[in-house]
Amino acid sequence: MSHMTNESEDGMLSKDDAGSQLNDDCDVGIILKKGPWTSAEDAILVEYVKKHGEGNWNAVQKHSGLYRCGKSCRLRWANHLRPNLKKGAFTADEEQLIAELHAKMGNKWARMAAHLPGRTDNEIKNYWNTRIKRRQRAGLPLYPPELCMEPLQENQEGHTDGINGGDKRHRGFLLKSRYEIPDVIFDRLKANQCLLPYVPEIPDISENSILLKGLGSSQYCNFMPSTLPSQKRLRESTVPCPGSNGFSAFDHFQDDVCDKVAQSFGFSSPLHPDPASENSLSFIHSLSDGNSSASKPTNVAVKLELPSFQYPETDLGSWGSSTPSHPLLESVDAFIQSPPPTGMQEEECSSPRNSGLLDALLHQAKTLSSTKNHSSDKSSKSATATPGEIANTSTLNMCGTEWEDYADPISPFGHSATSLFSELTPLSASASTMDVQPPCDIVKSEPCEQAWTLSVDNETTSLLSITRPDVCVAPIWLEQACRQI
């Protein structure tokens, strides 16, 4: 690094030496050094931490003479100087674990690092970013196939009997993650509850950023890197989904390669009618790692344009059109049109505490319907995607991204509904955190123009299922959950 030559031997800069390396982020009148650390600085920092312990990093500069801001000190300590740091390449086990953790957590590097003793979030992050690029280039799925298959199998087998066979460690890990619901889920649920039920929380432009960045690449059809920039913590909806991680509604079906990869994952494209497709669709989220912002209106997103390469050349119609014969669409139609199991509506759907799931779903349907109406129904009449249609579709997808906020943010595979129910079920019984009522003002603030009910029209329903393919499997989960209840 060239600017290392400017550093003084003792690792500290005089104020003159520091020159333009003023750290405008941390500095409070003192010129602080930036750039690589020297061994002398490291020694000073280590000595300081030995004496005073970690924390109060801003005091390091004051007491040790280091011309580094507290943040820089903390980072240096955490990433390089603290004891028990494991250096060197990640082992195969670690890589596997990282993949699992990422599938489960998304870009929560710090949390992932907690599962990898001796590894830092920065290391993991760098590793993952590199991995993404590498695997993109190689045309490989981001997540190991076995990682993708597990949730599918578990879905089919039920939620409690999945500990037979397979990698026990991994399965145990996944199961653990399923039943030990981290606090963050409740945090998010609480937070989301504030936005629910009628908050088509608008995925902001970053959603389009994802589109812009990812969907243009056929490689992304297989794995949407959830490392894609998200904007705000806690606003993001990082629900990476192996399989979904890439099976974007657009690309997945327009590319033979995608299809092959899909098959390699053990499921087939919806274009291939297959009984397994329904479950397969559990993998097919729209856009993972979408970010949502409650402050941005939908129509902002609607106006965003997509590059031409995002206009699918083929088969978008299978998503963009309401193909009644599509089993997946039928499943949703059947669910929404026909009453759920007895008591469901009153106890589960109408209850404020669960309004976030079905209500959100329905509200989205309404929103989508509304959006669709505004788009001069050209999309519904043409199997060929037009730019306008795509914009509309993208909007719908973005609307769908809200699902991620309603869903388990830590769900390994984007099992939004499943995870949600795994949380809601006990919560509903105990009437705990989900009792939080959405503030009325928030509800009122939403542009909810029409009263609407469960009887969503077919078109809307289809749109809904198109928008969020995972919605297609939600009815199944809903029914299962209701039976359990």
Partner DNA sequence: AAGGCCTACAACCGCCCTCTT
Partner DNA sequence: AAAGAGGGCGGTTGTAGGCCT
Instruction: State which of positions 3-22 bind DNA (CB under 7 A).
Output: 3-4
Which of 235, 229, 371 has its CA nearest to residue 292?
235
Length in residues, the chain: 485
Q: What is the smallest separation between the CB atom of 164 and DNA, expressed in angstroms?
A: 33
* Residues whose CB falls within 8 Å of the CB of residue 187, separated by 6 or more in sequence, listed in order: none
Answer yes or no whether residue 76 interacts with DNA by CB under 7 A: yes
Q: What is the smallest separation between the CB atom of 93 and DNA, expressed in angstroms?
A: 16
**Is 413 in contact with 288 (CB distance < 8 Å)?**
no
Instruction: State which of positions 86-105 bind DNA (CB under 7 A).
Output: 88-89
Among 9, 16, 24, 180, binds DNA (CB under 7 A): 24
**The residue to which tokens 């009887």 are assigned:** 455
Among 102, 104, 235, 366, binds DNA (CB under 7 A): 235
Which of 374, 388, 370, 363 has its CA nearest to residue 471?
363
Residue 24 or residue 161: which is nearer to DNA going by CB? 24
Residue 83 or residue 88: which is nearer to DNA going by CB? 88
Q: How many residues bind DNA (CB under 7 A)?
A: 58
**Helix and strand numbers, DSSP H then E, in the chain:** 23, 3
Residue 4 or residue 431: which is nearer to DNA going by CB? 4
Answer yes or no whether residue 110 interacts with DNA by CB under 7 A: yes
Q: What per-residue string of b and e applies to 347-384 under the rule 16 or more CB within 10 Å gives b?
A: ebbebebbbbbbbbbbbbbbbbbbbbeebeeebbeeee
Alpha-carbon distance 457 to 461, whole Å?
6
Q: What is the smallest separation between the CB atom of 235 and DNA, expressed in angstroms?
A: 6
Amino acid at position 470, single letter: D
Bond before 83 cis per omega within 30 degrees: no
Alpha-carbon distance 280 to 228, whole Å?
24
Answer yes or no whether residue 107 interacts with DNA by CB under 7 A: yes
Which of 437, 438, 417, 436 has its CA nearest to residue 482?
417
Q: What is the smallest separation between the CB atom of 127 and DNA, expressed in angstroms?
A: 6
> Mask 49-68, x = binds DNA (CB under 7 A)?
-----xxxxxx--------x
Q: What is the smallest separation between the CB atom of 234 and DNA, expressed in angstroms?
A: 4
Q: What is the smallest separation between the CB atom of 58 and DNA, expressed in angstroms?
A: 4
Q: Which two three-digit tokens encode residue 379?
A: 């999309």
Within 10 angstroms of residue 228's Cβ, the number of other Cβ atoms is 22
The interface region with DNA, picked from 230-238, 341-349, 397-405, 459-467 by CB under 7 A, is 230-238
Instruction: State which of positions 133-152 bind DNA (CB under 7 A).
Output: 133-134, 137
Answer yes or no whether residue 74 interacts with DNA by CB under 7 A: yes
Residue 76 or residue 171: which is nearer to DNA going by CB? 76
Alpha-carbon distance 447 to 199, whole Å?
9
- In what helix (H) or strand (E) does residue 382 lie, and over which residues does it extend? none
Binding interface with DNA (CB under 7 A):
1-4, 23-26, 33-37, 54-59, 68, 70-72, 74-76, 78-80, 88-89, 107-111, 121-123, 125-127, 129-131, 133-134, 137, 227-230, 232-236, 238
